[in-house]
Amino acid sequence: DAGVTQSPTHLIKTRGQQVTLRCSPISGHKSVSWYQQVLGQGPQFIFQYYEKEERGRGNFPDRFSARQFPNYSSELNVNALLLGDSALYLCASRLTGPTEAFFGQGTRLTVV
């Protein structure tokens, strides 16, 4: 079975632009979460979606938004990019309950 897949793997954007990152969860996993990992830090929780509904949101500005599709894949959108948005963006999928999260390889976003 394929693991969590994310695309693209690397991305360079200019300040003020908008970006969309994509994630396909493990087959059968209905919960998808997004994390931002700044270099040298631990991942920070951005969003969690379950059954296409937002179930949780971390301490991120409204420039960050996400959605989940009927096939449980997900997109993370970031508007009006800032230099500080440069990071590795990780997607994780899991079954329900206190089960382990499986992470994708991430999308490396660089804002210049």
Partner 1 sequence: GDSVTQMEGPVTLSEEAFLTINCTYTATGYPSLFWYVQYPGEGLQLLLKATKADDKGSNKGFEATYRKETTSFHLEKGSVQVSDSAVYFCALSDLRGGGADGLTFGKGTHLIIQP
Binding site for partner 1 (CB under 8 A): 4, 31, 33, 35, 40-45, 48, 50, 55-58, 90, 92, 97-98, 100-106
Q: Smallest gap, in angstroms, from Cβ of residue 84 to partner 1?
A: 17
* Choice between 73 and 105, CB closer to partner 1: 105
Q: Smallest gap, in angstroms, from Cβ of residue 15 to partner 1?
A: 27
CB 23 within 8 A of CB 8: no
Residue of 68, 66, 60 lying closest to 44 (CA atoms): 60
Q: How far is CA 69 from CA 24, 34, 43, 76, 84, in A?
A: 10, 15, 24, 12, 28
CB 31 within 8 A of CB 93: yes
* Choice between 39 and 83, CB closer to partner 1: 39
Q: Smallest gap, in angstroms, from Cβ of residue 86 to partner 1?
A: 17
